Each structure stands twice: as structure tokens, then as C-alpha cells.
Amino acid sequence: MASDHTNSPSALLLLPPPPAFSFAEVKDAFQPSLVEVYTKLSNALIGSNRTAVLDIALAIPDLLSPSCQPRAKVFAQLQHYLSSVYTLVGAVCAAHKIELDSPGGIDTRVVFVDASENTSAIQADSSRFGPILDVQSLANSRRRWNYVFYLPNTVGQTLANSFTNSVGSQDREITAASMQAITSKPDWAISDPLLIPDNQHPSTPHYSVVVGGTFDHLHVGHKLLLTAVALALEPLHRGQKGRLTIGVTGDALLVNKKYAEFLESWEERWQSTAAFLTAIMDFSPEKKSPQIERAFAPGPNGKTVLVRIQPNLAFEFVEISDPFGPTITEENLGAIVVSKETHSGGAAVNEERVKKGWKSLDVFEVDVLQSGEATTATDGEGFESKISSTDIRRRRAHLAKV
């Protein structure tokens, strides 16, 4: 699989609960902090082709409580908050001419943490996979961050204290040395409650979720969608197994894409997708190489790669050869994640499944990143360039000519 940037600069940014999940509120609370963090990491990369890693942990009270399960109850609010954060990341980096994901840029991964005092008891029998985890699991994941940034206002300091107090004794000194306070807004009022479970939503838990896409030159738009897929997967308690099925468009269907010569191969695309999903989901202290199984079956969508990152969690990558991919070749799926701009695709999938006599999939919709809400640079390298695979290929084609 693609490298997880083992030898690159890495940082963790602890963000306390925002006043609300809207883009305006998130921007007002976190923009100064993000500007400082991205500027620091970008400056550390000047003259280098390395890619820095930034894990952003979004704290939300009571996120792991029974009232927030199954996850369908809180999916809509969480994905909206996630969209606001990734939109702000793209806007900040565009405005300050900071690269994302490309060599010399910053690979951003966003997860959620519940820093409530009672999470240890709630999670005692859980496998503690992201993208939602307790602060203890985050602190003891043995990820070696060069910096742990936190906001020094009251809510930020409380989260930082919870994090440092959760670190094991053998790592406490290293963690203390890495902690850095950054620019932040003064204290703000947090909506009470911040997260309101939707008890009207169907309460079926899902342990098999599917998504499809090209995933060329993975960017923050892809990351929003993939993180949403992981959010739709139910927490894996003892004895339960989970699987994410990711349809990745085959090379043969992409020959007419713009700047097709700069498209990543199917192998490169599934590997970068697998590396990202592993980064936001596997926080176990013991790092093991994933088990990889390849299969080639006759017929459509027969080329697959199964990546088992833990005994009870696997990713299945399917080479898509038609518009529906694995949704009409694999019956045992429970839910599908689609973007709101392609929501009709979920209905079309279910029509085909009904024709086969199969159960319809629950459809989870994800917001699109709102470039119109962000003030960006006006030199042609603005927000859109951060969330467009075509534009990334265009820039690489231009560099190849220089």
C-alpha cells in the first residue's frame, strides 16, 4: 500500500467543540488556528518534496454515548461539520498559497473524538476504531507526532489536558515536549446540546457500507466522502466484523478524461485510498502490516483487492467496469454513501437491486465542499484547485512542460 509518510513531518491539531456545526461558526472559531498551523507546517517543507501529515481531531461531547447509536442518528450532523472543516481547510490553504496532498504539501486527515469523562466505560468492549474514538485511544495510538497543537482558551486547554492526562507514562515526557499552544479566538458559547440525535431516522446499524468513485490524486473532496463512508459503519464491538467496499473506476473507463496521461493507475488509486482509510480508522497501538488478498473473477467487477487491516475490519476494492459497480454484484451490502450532487445514483442503484430481488440499500448523503463560501486567491490557483482532480492533473501537465 501507499506509504503513510513515515519519515515526514507530522502534527496533531486538537480542536475543541465549536459553537455550532455551520461553516460560518466553524470559520469564526477556527480560522486563526488553522492559518497558523498550516503556515508552520508549510514553512517546514520549504525546499522539500516531502508531504507533511496533519491529523485534526474534532472534539464533540457525548459522541460515544448510547444515545448517538446507531450512527445513522448523528450521521447528517457529523458529515455537515466535517464538510465545514474541510471547506475551511481548502479556503485557508488557497488564500495562503499552501499546497495540499501534493509533494511539498500537507496531507490532512480529520477524525472525531469524545473527550467526555465516561468514555472509557462506554468503549470498554469496543475495538476503538476511528473516525470516532475516545481521547484515550487517540492519545495512546503510538503515533509519533512532531507537534501537538492546541487552542489555549478555556475549551481548548480542557481538551489538551484531557489528551495529555490520557497518555501512557512511557510516552508522557515525549508528548509534553511536543505540545504547542497556537493562536485562537477567545472563549465561545457552545450550543447545549451541540449534537442532537435524530430519533426519527431508521435505526438499522450497518456493518457493510459501499461507495464508488475515481479517487484520482486523492484530495480533500475525496477525503470528505471516504470519511463519511467510515462514519456510516457501526462501531465494531467484540465478535462483530465490518467491511467497507470501495468501487474504484477502472482505467479503461477513464481514457477520455482531460489530461488522461496524468491519471494515476488503478493500483495507485486503490492504494492511496486504502492508506487514507487506514489512517482515519486504525488507531490501535500495535501496528501490523495489512493482509492483502487479490481475486480475479470472470464477469463485470470481478477484479478485487481485499485489505484486512485488523481481524475484524477489512476494505474491499473493486475495479468498476460499469455504472453500478459492486452494488449489483454483491448482495450483502447494507448502505451506500453518495454526494448530494449525485444523490440520484443511490436511487438508481436501488432500482437495479430491486429488479434482482435484493434488499435496497440505505442511502447516506454527503455535502459537497462549498467553494462559494470561502474567500480564496484570485490567481487561478484558488479553492477549486484544491478539490479538483482535473485541475491537479492540469497543473502537473503544466509542470511537465516547464
Does 305 score more than 70 pLDDT?
A: yes
pLDDT, residue 376, reads 44
**Helix 266-281 × helix 220-232 angle, to 10°:** 60
Does 388 score more than 70 pLDDT?
A: no
Question: pLDDT, tens digit, for every residue of 66-113?
Answer: 999 999 999 999 999 999 999 999 999 989 999 998 888 999 999 999
pLDDT, residue 102, reads 84
Q: What's the CA gap between 383 and 53, in Å, rounded?
A: 20
pLDDT, residue 389, reads 63
| Higher per-residue confidence, 343 vs 148 | 148
| Higher per-residue confidence, 129 vs 392 | 129
| Higher per-residue confidence, 219 vs 391 | 219
First to last CA, the chain: 31
Strand ranges across the sheet with 208-213: 291-296, 303-310, 313-320, 242-249, 208-213, 335-339, 362-366
Does 395 score more than 60 pLDDT?
A: yes
What lies within 8 Å, CB to CB, of 298 at 6+ separation is none
pLDDT, residue 175, reads 86
Q: Is 378 exposed, middle or buried (0-12, 13-18, 19+ CB in 10 A)?
A: exposed
pLDDT, residue 328, reads 93
In contact, 232 and 364? CB cutoff 8 Å = yes
Q: Is 150 exposed, middle or buried (0-12, 13-18, 19+ CB in 10 A)?
A: buried
Least confident among 52-66, 266-280, 326-340, 360-374: 360-374
Residue 293's pLDDT band (boundaries 50, 70, 90)? very high
Does 256 score more than 90 pLDDT?
A: no
pLDDT, residue 3, reads 42
Q: What is the pLDDT of the chain when averaged over all its residues? A: 88
Nearest to 249 by CA among 265, 226, 230: 265
Q: Is 170 exposed, middle or buried (0-12, 13-18, 19+ CB in 10 A)?
A: exposed
pLDDT, residue 393, reads 62
Q: Please state the pTM of the whole predicted model.
A: 0.92
| Higher per-residue confidence, 169 vs 390 | 169
% of the chain exceeding 90 in pLDDT: 66
Question: pLDDT, tens digit, for every residue of 32-74?
Answer: 999 999 999 999 999 888 999 999 999 999 999 999 999 999 9
In contact, 61 and 116? CB cutoff 8 Å = yes
| Higher per-residue confidence, 323 vs 392 | 323
- Listed in order, strand segments (DSSP E) in 298-378 are 303-310, 313-320, 335-339, 362-366
Q: How far is CA 141 from CA 92, 121, 136, 294, 318, in A?
A: 28, 18, 8, 29, 30
Pairing, β 208-213 against β 242-249: parallel
Does 4 score more than 50 pLDDT?
A: no
| Higher per-residue confidence, 234 vs 386 | 234
Pairing, β 303-310 against β 106-114: unpaired
Cell, residue 211: 461507495
Structural domains in the chain, sorted by start: 10-181 (no CATH), 208-366 (3.40.50.620)
Question: pLDDT, tens digit, for every residue of 111-141?
Answer: 999 988 665 545 444 547 899 999 999 999 9
Query: How many CB atoms are closer than 10 A to CB 98?
Result: 20
